[in-house]
A and B are shown apart, each in its own frame.
Chain A
Amino acid sequence: MVCAVNKHLDARLLDPAGADELVRALQRRGFSVIAPAIEDDIVVLREYGPADTLPRGYSDTQDGGSYRLTRTGDDRLFAYAAAPQGFKRVLWPPRQTLYESRRTADRLEILPVTEEPKKLALFAARACEIDAIAILDGVFDNGDFADPGYWARRRDAFVVLVECGRSGDTCFCASMGTGPAREAGFDIALTEIFGNGPHRLLARAGSERGAEVLAEIAGRPATAGDADDRNRMLAEVAAAQARRMPADVAAILAANPEHARWNAVAERCLTCGNCTMVCPTCFCSTTEDSSSLDMSTATRARRWDSCFTIDYSYIHGGAVRASARSRYRQWISHKLSTWHEQFGRAGCVGCGRCITWCPVGIDIVEEANAIAASSA
């Protein structure tokens, strides 16, 4: 799949209806397609059903601690920005049973829970989201250990990228170098071009199977002019992002563990953990055991955990990070600084979800810039 980008197919143009055709082509190939839908004025990701069509004419306004769906008054397919919950929960569900054990008359039986490989298609993943999946891939296969549950869902996942035609109000992918354009990590990429010539989708294949599926969709060859329109649009999207992460944030945070700003943010931080739950790269989990009342069976399960809980840093004798200050500092420092030492890059993709979904609107970019501005 590496080096696939250039060889597969020249870019094609689809009518907007081609997006739904693409979903159905994937379904015909046996994929369970997880796609955006509108439920109760929210963009959700769910399995595309027989009666579904992709939502049209929706956008959103996002700010620290605020999200509202809006109508665009046109039939754009992808004018909304990052949805409340990304594809993380599809590939890495909040709860997974690891094994069950059963006590018999003379021994203890271990009953492993194996996950059958799934054929999932992740439809309309944005550039930041695909970057986040690339990060999770490295986390769940570090060369020594590959997580079987994650890879049962991930290995055959068909990825359809949608490049953003509009920057969300809390987005900062451009300064993280993760978007809005993307050239790899997908099977098919779509770029919606609207308001500049006819409403159309520029489609590119990123893999052989992507090229095969795309060949089934009615379309026509794209021109150099279409490619220019895409490049111009993506440059505008990037330029529209008001939030910018300082380029040297990793070094700045590492050099300022005692900065006064940590106290200020701790005054506001609820330690509720919402930022970690919505973060597309936060992967922490904990393991829980439960037993039946008659003690005949026991279950070991894994569930999402957050570094904002006290139990997270509990070791013999107490919690290492008891204060809100130390927990917030741990999270942002890991995401933006120590992640480099652990995984060779930043753990933040600039999707802005931690800003939007913080109930009190704490802004990771603002905090990083505040520390950078008065750095030791």
Chain B
Amino acid sequence: MIFGGTMLSNGLVFARYSLAEWIQGLLGDRLEMIPEWILFPLLMLAGCLVIIGFITVFALFAIWMERKVSAHMQCRLGPMEVGFHGALQTIADGVKLLGKEDIVPRHADKLLHYLAPIIVFAGVFPLFVVVPFSEKILISDINLGLFFVAAVGAVEVVGVIMAGWASNNKWSLFGAMRAATQLVSYEIPLGLAFLTIILLAGSFSMVDIIHQQEGWLSNWFLFHNPFMPIIFLSFFTASLAECKRAPFDLPEAESELVSGFHTEYSGMKFSIFFLAEYAAMYVVCAIAAVMFLGGWSTGIKPLEAWLADSAGNPMREVLSNTVHLVVIVTKSMFLVFVQMWLRWTLPRIRLDQIMHVCLKVLLPWTMVAMVATSAIELCWPGGNMVLTALTIVIWSIPLLWTLKAILDMTVGIFLKFVPSGR
């Protein structure tokens, strides 16, 4: 038997665990009749289908969430008509987009206009190969995971420029140029943040990076030393810019550029851009969770040890994977929420300010923080409780201050609506 059960269950594909075993159970002996060279791509394709399903569900949810979050932050209700609190609104919008006509402007470069959404989506979708969901639920733990993200993440820019150029519309081209400049320059702080994490973990692989942060919460790279929160903040800022989210949303600034580089796109082509944008949002947030927030680790050592101890206990393995899946998706969704929160809190900044923030704030700070981190790693290999405590003490000051400001504000708004008794 060339192709045993172990090989399948440890398979090379998404849900190495359940999916492969399920297929084997379904086909039994007939499995061996399918040649290996067809079976492998088919299993990989199954992974694709699961991921595209995840992206679609995520996008449907995130768009609804975005509208709800924005509405409630502005004391509105947001979509309320379709489904419970407008939960099905996005599906209705999707159906509407499917029925929309596809308009290509007369003066556009029609070939490039067609290719641009393909390149943008094909630049984002393969990133999901390395996005982990749990120990068993991941497509592939590529050896060069983080470097892969840094490299393939850069391809999207080309699609954006192509879209803007091909449309032959001034708004589109301005949007595309802004997007290209912004995406390109924010890759530097992003790359430096990747470097710092690789330096700490000694590996590019996502799973290795997560394993390094297991145990108590204090093992998370965010708390490694007082410089790590700087790296995290600059990574998060850069990832906002990479996703073209407010306050860095100038490429599609509605109030000045109509819709930026996708002004001339309608119907499904437009929704592909939208889907790619939301997919990229999840990718950067999941990667931030992996890099700084311990990935799927719960941060409670005894619980982690109990979950990991699944020898001869298949149910616990399933439980462990489920818990880890929930944990990492929750962490990523929290970061997605923060992205939305920032969108409705901060005004859009100008292009010169964007360049200023990138080259004169993020770049020097991240460089200094990276060198400092490597020096600390040199002196105290593998981290140090004192440094972690110091990090938490130092950074709790701005954090508590922010929390107090938020609390004051929310309580203040709440009190406004409470009848004052008179």
A and B interact: no
Q: Which residue numbers of A lie inside 8 Å of B, CB to CB?
A: none
Q: Which residue numbers of B lie inside 8 Å of A, CB to CB?
A: none
